[in-house]
Structure 1
Amino acid sequence: MARWGWASFLLRRLTGTFVVVVLLSVGVFGLLYLAPGSIQQTLLGTRPATPETIAAIQARYHLNDPVAVQYLRWLGGAVSGDLGVSIRTGMPVSGMLGGRLSLTLALTGYGTLLAALVGIPLGIVGALRQGRTADRLVVTAGVVGLSAPPFAAGLLLLVVFTGDLGWFPGYGAGEGFADTLWHLTLPAVALAAGAVGLLIRFTRAALVRELDQDYVVFARARGLGAPLVLWYAMRNSLVPILTATGLIVTGMLVGTVLVEVTFALPGLGSLLVDSVTFKDVPVVQALALLLTLLIAAVNLLVDLGYSAVDPRVRLGGRTS
């Protein structure tokens, strides 16, 4: 029964994710039709709009076909890896994205790791020292972190640690693993600033609730050591912490746009800004679709994480 419950849970999550991605892909495809002016002029950009050129654009992008046929053709190309050609550079869009995706994922992962290493321990401290000075300091730090936009934190870090102290490079991605890690440190800290505040709040609230449960009181009465009691309480607090982590990762995928521009990093965020500026619609469409897929994948992983830490979720919310 447990196997069928797990399979049913996984099938429901995959089906829901697939439906969401398809619906969002319709919106992404609609970017071409929502752009100001005619579709032909949008695709032409700054090139002269002669009748021959317009006819070539219509033939190249099959603009005379019904919209539904155009969407299915575009979606089929996207599934097979053909995301079109950039208006600005004339290069295949898939190649442009592939060269930048790794940097954005590395920055997001680095920022998430820093946020977890700082936010979760501080949340635990706040819960264990509830109502005391340490708790008030932790809560204050969380509020300050949540109030700091990534781009503003990035500018402050640049002024202090690059301009004044000269400890970190101010732009570029570096070469080699160690150098890249060094270049990504300040951007990752800028992304992690707000995430730390969110993790503090979720971790503290979840652990405070668990420490008030009867099983914790009973464990303490039986003489179990504080580390073991904390371990059990933390295990039962993982679902809201996973929720916060999922929100953080998706937020960082979006937040990288301004942070990459601030630190002159050649990632997906800076490519999105350049493409919007030059009205490079095929690239904007591909980026929007890619971010949609990444966010859907993160949400799916979080759902699977719920089932791993709580068997009741694995069976669709029913205890076995």
Structure 2
Amino acid sequence: MARYLLLRLADAVPTVFLVLLLVFIAMRILPGDPAIAALGDMATPEQLALFRDRMGLNDPLWLQFINFVKGVFTLDLGNSMMSNQNVVGLILYNLPFTIELTVVAMLMGILAGVPLGVLAATNRNKLPDSGVRVFSLIGYAIPDFYLGALLLITFALNLGWFPINGGGTDFASRMYHVFLPALTLAFVKAAFIGRLTRTSLLEVLSRDYVRTARAKGAKESRVIYRHGLRNALLPLTTGLGLSTLATLSGSVAIEMVFNRPGIGKLLISAIAERDYAVIQGGVVVFAMFVVVINLLMDLLYIVVDPRIRMK
């Protein structure tokens, strides 16, 4: 396991380097002058020149890239061009809110989606199966930001059951604040996970060893959960990895809808203000999430199916 982990980490190094290069290039080809975006059109040439020099914008591109990579690995991404706050400090403040939203949404999606998938698979072509399939279609069809706006208007503005914005302070208030945003993301995830669980479980239940277990008189619950669901976990694990990445990307819009702190809201605000330093930091965080989640999924494959080994 340790050797496999080291090999996967080594494989991730070129990916991380490519991500950093793409982020750097993307920031440099955006139209407009970051100095003018930060200081405004009324800034004098001297002020603009001083700003560019302070932010390192006058350095050669290769030197800017080296400093950028060095800053990523030393956690020194400079200061915001707008607020002059430390970029790493801004990220560390907002990061827990995004992680919290993603984790709670995924837990809600799994706790709802897996039982729905089992219910549909064990009642194939019956009313419960039809209901789950309709639910899945609705989940796929409704944009999460639209659903979030509906939930916000209904349960926060009209009924007053949940807060309109913010992220909370202690554990109880944070769970209270995160419930509606997480429910918004979990609705779509439950639809995806439920449909994936149904498909995977139906495939496993059609295999010969499952028929043999039933012929020997095994209880249906044992057949479903021990022989069926257990062997359906591998494709489900792949789906959960993809769903986690989708939840993470979906958190950007949801944080804006619910006016909730997080990396997504920080990134959107930075884009609107052309704050290059914060944009770079936010995009790097999302990219690192992708690398880490893919690595965790690779390790989870071995836990789910020990037969999987490096060749």
Task: Find the aligned partners of 2:53 and 2:162 in 1 and give their Cα distance.
Answer: 51
Match of residue 33, structure 1, among 28, 35, 39: 28
Check conservation: 1:306, 1:314, Cα contact below 8 A: no
Task: Find the aligned partners of 1:293 and 1:281 in 2 and give their Cα distance.
Answer: 18
> Following superposition of structure 1 onto structure 2, how do residues 274-313 of structure 1 map, counting pairs within 5 Å?
274-313=269-308
- The answer to whether residue 139 in structure 2 is matched with residue 150 in structure 1 is no
Task: Find the aligned partners of 2:83 and 2:126 in 1 and give their Cα distance.
Answer: 59
> Offset at 1:269?
1.6
How many residue pairs get aligned? The number is 310
The 1:254/1:280 distance shift into structure 2, 3 A limit, reads: same
> Offset at 1:197?
1.0
The 1:137/1:252 distance shift into structure 2, 3 A limit, reads: same
- The answer to whether residue 5 in structure 2 is matched with residue 10 in structure 1 is yes
Structure 1 unaligned residues grouped into runs of 5+: 1-5
Check conservation: 1:112, 1:249, Cα contact below 8 A: yes
Once the two structures are overlaid, the 10-residue window that deviates more, 295-304 or 29-38, is 29-38
Corresponding position of 1:169: 163
- Code of the residue aligned with 1:68 in structure 2: it is W
> Following superposition of structure 1 onto structure 2, how do residues 69-80 of structure 1 map, counting pairs within 5 Å?
69-80=63-74
> Offset at 1:158?
1.6
Task: Find the aligned partners of 2:117 and 2:55 in 1 and give their Cα distance.
Answer: 53
Corresponding position of 1:117: 111
Once the two structures are overlaid, the 10-residue window that deviates more, 82-91 or 242-251, is 242-251
Relative to the length of structure 1, the TM-score reads 0.91
- Code of the residue aligned with 1:255 in structure 2: it is G
- Code of the residue aligned with 1:129 in structure 2: it is N
Corresponding position of 2:98: 104
- The answer to whether residue 78 in structure 2 is matched with residue 84 in structure 1 is yes
Check conservation: 1:33, 1:39, Cα contact below 8 A: no
- Code of the residue aligned with 1:79 in structure 2: it is F
Corresponding position of 1:3: none
The 1:40/1:245 distance shift into structure 2, 3 A limit, reads: same
Corresponding position of 2:61: 67
Check conservation: 2:98, 2:262, Cα contact below 8 A: yes
Q: Secondary structure of the equivalent of 2:307?
A: helix
Deviations 1:252-293 (A, max 9, x none): 111111111111111112111211111111001100001100
Q: Secondary structure of the equivalent of 1:312?
A: coil
Deviations 1:14-49 (A, max 9, x none): 23322212101111112331121345545x442655
Once the two structures are overlaid, the 10-residue window that deviates more, 96-105 or 225-234, is 225-234
Q: Secondary structure of the equivalent of 2:308?
A: helix
Task: Find the aligned partners of 2:44 and 2:73 in 1 and give their Cα distance.
Answer: 33
Once the two structures are overlaid, the 10-residue window that deviates more, 201-210 or 60-69, is 60-69
Match of residue 15, structure 2, among 3, 17, 20: 20
Corresponding position of 1:191: 185
- Code of the residue aligned with 2:288 in structure 1: it is L
Check conservation: 1:31, 1:281, Cα contact below 8 A: no
Relative to the length of structure 2, the TM-score reads 0.93
Check conservation: 1:145, 1:197, Cα contact below 8 A: yes
The 1:237/1:60 distance shift into structure 2, 3 A limit, reads: same
Check conservation: 2:71, 2:77, Cα contact below 8 A: yes
Q: Secondary structure of the equivalent of 2:142?
A: coil
The 1:165/1:17 distance shift into structure 2, 3 A limit, reads: same
